[in-house]
Amino acid sequence: MSSVPPPGDRTDAPAAPLSTSAAPVGARPPLRLAVALVIGGILWIGPYIASITVLLPARLEIVAPDSKVQVIATLAIVGSIVALLANIVFGAFSDLTRSRLGKRTPWMLLGSAITGLSLFALTRAESVTAIVVVWCVFQFFLNAIVAPLVAVIPDRVPERMRGTYSAVYGVGFMVGAAAANIVASRFVANPTDGFMIMAIAILFSGPVLALLAPDKSNAGEPRPAFSRDMLLTNFSFPRRGARDFYLAMFGKLLFVLAMFAITGYQLYIFTDHLGMDAVGAGAMIATMATVQLVLSLIFGAVAGPVSDRVGRRKIFVIGSMLLMAVSLLVPFVWPQPVAMVVFAALGLGVASGVFNSVDQALNYDVLPNAEAAAKDLGILNMANTGGQILGPVVMGVVISVTGGYGAGFPIAAGIAVVGAVLISRIRSAR
């Protein structure tokens, strides 16, 4: 990356972000690190997805059958707010940590222990209040695993290989998310046993990295002195040299929003918009999920290494966003059930696979401060959470205004295109 020009020099391009890699330029990370990223990703995303989609609803069917729908909505909203705050908090604490285990591992170990205990506690929660409180504890400490884990890549992987390692992490993420529902579905009638299994799984998420690919001690590194500037740097949104950082963040937000505007209502799109019965809709959703998993794994695994080889990120991210827009228009111009499978293949499979692989590497390229990498990556992750929340809201507004789902497709496509435009404006990454 180019260096910051000295005062007085004129340039049309902004200063490039600070490098976030502690690894020598020519260093090759050990294969153990790739294995640890895959397994660690599976072991945190799997229990989370299994809990929120299957086990929690099943538990509420027992504890509060008359208010289960409202409670699920409450858990989603409150949990998202807690997660947004925790991303910043644990990212900042991780950046400031000095220990013999490094700065990431201690927090991942803490997060694994408390999230495991939280899932175990859900098996004993007998009231709605207890479930909400325990779930918030789980969501908060889940980010003690996630925020430091994603920062391991810029810490230990040279820039020329970050696309590959982002793809490796993305494969673990996608496998864990898909496997979660398969495993959890076996415990619908007995969620207690399901929670116990997931508690054990997440308990090993942090230790995997410590055992397979331990970090070096950073106990001797200087810690920034406590001051107003230290607090602003480590516990606030970036303020200097962050233009491209925010373009990347809002581009990601719009991509996720466009996708979840449709996927959040896919059951009702099949039944209310395309006229299918519930059984047929369920079969189509299963088909979509299978197509999505296969294609996202293939294209996600390929896109990262190719991005490294050609030395470019933006073209892959922009291309995936434009492909998502095209896929969203297919059910609009061809309102048939099979069109949703085409959307799943092109948008949720190919486009999302490429995006999830290369966009993470692009995020590393636009980090404005090497000393606050985990905190800033946590802020970027807020775009994922925000898009998942706002997507269904946007579609809900469309339905209330137009009286149907049809207009939601071109609106979502337009949102994805705007996201692509934002990414195209990034100057400090190719």
Q: Do 64 and 194 share a domain, yes or no?
A: yes
Do the beta carbons of residue 300 and residue 353 sit within 8 Å? yes
Q: What is the pLDDT of residue 414?
A: 96
Q: Do 212 and 243 share a domain, yes or no?
A: no
Q: Do 79 and 149 share a domain, yes or no?
A: yes
Q: Do 280 and 143 share a domain, yes or no?
A: no
CATH number at residue 351: 1.20.1250.20
In a domain, 73, yes or no: yes
The predicted model gives 111-118 an average pLDDT of 96
Q: Helix, strand, or coil here: 224?
A: coil
In a domain, 5, yes or no: no
CA geometry: angle 72, 78, 84, nearest 5 deg: 130
| C-beta neighbour count of 9 within 10 angstroms | 7
Phi, then psi, of 52 in degrees rounded to 5: -75, -30
Q: Range of 208's domain?
A: 31-217
Q: What is the pLDDT of residue 371?
A: 67
Q: What is the pLDDT of residue 170?
A: 81
Segments in 97-215 forming alpha helices (H):
105-122, 128-156, 162-184, 191-203, 205-212
pLDDT tens-digit map of 321-350? 999 999 999 999 999 999 999 999 999 889
Q: Do 213 and 339 share a domain, yes or no?
A: no
**Owner of token pair 């949990």:** 79
In a domain, 141, yes or no: yes
**Could you give the number of structural domains in the chain?**
2
pLDDT of residue 44 exceeding 60, the answer is yes
Q: Per the structure block, which two tokens stand in for 178?
A: 């898909």
Q: What is the pLDDT of residue 227?
A: 57
Q: Do 94 and 165 share a domain, yes or no?
A: yes
Q: What is the pLDDT of residue 3?
A: 32
pLDDT tens-digit map of 59-104? 888 888 877 767 776 777 787 788 878 888 888 888 888 888 888 8
Q: What is the pLDDT of residue 215?
A: 83
Q: Do 332 and 192 share a domain, yes or no?
A: no
Q: Helix, strand, or coil here: 238?
A: coil
Do the beta carbons of residue 395 and residue 389 sit within 8 Å? no
In a domain, 12, yes or no: no
More reliable by pLDDT, 401 or 364:
401
In a domain, 23, yes or no: no
Highest mean pLDDT among 8-17, 151-160, 201-210, 397-406: 201-210
The predicted model gives 277-286 an average pLDDT of 80
Q: Do 153 and 254 share a domain, yes or no?
A: no
| C-beta neighbour count of 133 within 10 angstroms | 15
Q: What is the pLDDT of residue 12?
A: 35
pLDDT of residue 117 exceeding 90, the answer is yes
Q: In terms of Cα–Cα distance, which of 160, 159, 164 is closest to 302?
A: 164
118-125 contacts: CB < 8 A, separation 24 or more?
A: 118/199, 119/47, 119/51, 119/195, 119/196, 119/198, 119/199, 119/202, 120/195, 120/196, 120/199, 122/51, 122/55, 122/56, 122/59, 122/195, 123/191, 123/192, 123/195, 123/196, 125/59, 125/63
pLDDT tens-digit map of 349-400? 899 889 988 888 888 888 887 666 777 777 787 787 778 777 877 888 888 8
Q: Do 180 and 283 share a domain, yes or no?
A: no
The predicted model gives 259-269 an average pLDDT of 81
Q: Tell me which of 186, 217, 248 is where a domain ends.
A: 217
pLDDT of residue 6 exceeding 50, the answer is no
Q: In terms of Cα–Cα distance, which of 93, 100, 366, 106 is closest to 230?
A: 93
In a domain, 200, yes or no: yes
Q: In angstroms, rounded to a whole number, what is the distance separating the alpha carbons of residues 145 and 290?
A: 28
How does the average pLDDT of the chain come out, rounded?
A: 82
In a domain, 2, yes or no: no
Q: Tell me which of 184, 217, 250 is where a domain ends.
A: 217
| C-beta neighbour count of 284 within 10 angstroms | 21
Q: What is the pLDDT of residue 82?
A: 87
Q: Do 197 and 333 share a domain, yes or no?
A: no
Q: In angstroms, rounded to a whole number, what is the distance separating the alpha carbons of residues 221 and 94?
A: 14
Phi, then psi, of 393 in degrees rounded to 5: -65, -45
Do the beta carbons of residue 157 and residue 308 sit within 8 Å? no
What's the whole-model pTM score? 0.73
Q: Do 62 and 142 share a domain, yes or no?
A: yes
Q: What is the pLDDT of residue 235?
A: 63
Highest mean pLDDT among 167-181, 369-383, 400-414: 400-414
Find the range with the poorest average confidence among 144-158, 211-225, 321-335: 211-225
Q: What is the pLDDT of residue 4?
A: 32
Please give the share of the chain, as a percent, with pLDDT higher than 70.
Answer: 88
Q: Tell me which of 217, 247, 263 is where a domain ends.
A: 217
Q: Do 334 and 378 share a domain, yes or no?
A: yes
Do the beta carbons of residue 177 and residue 117 sit within 8 Å? no
Q: Per the structure block, which two tokens stand in for 312?
A: 């470019």
More reliable by pLDDT, 151 or 408:
408
Q: What is the pLDDT of residue 9?
A: 35
More reliable by pLDDT, 184 or 107:
107
The predicted model gives 28-53 an average pLDDT of 85
In a domain, 1, yes or no: no
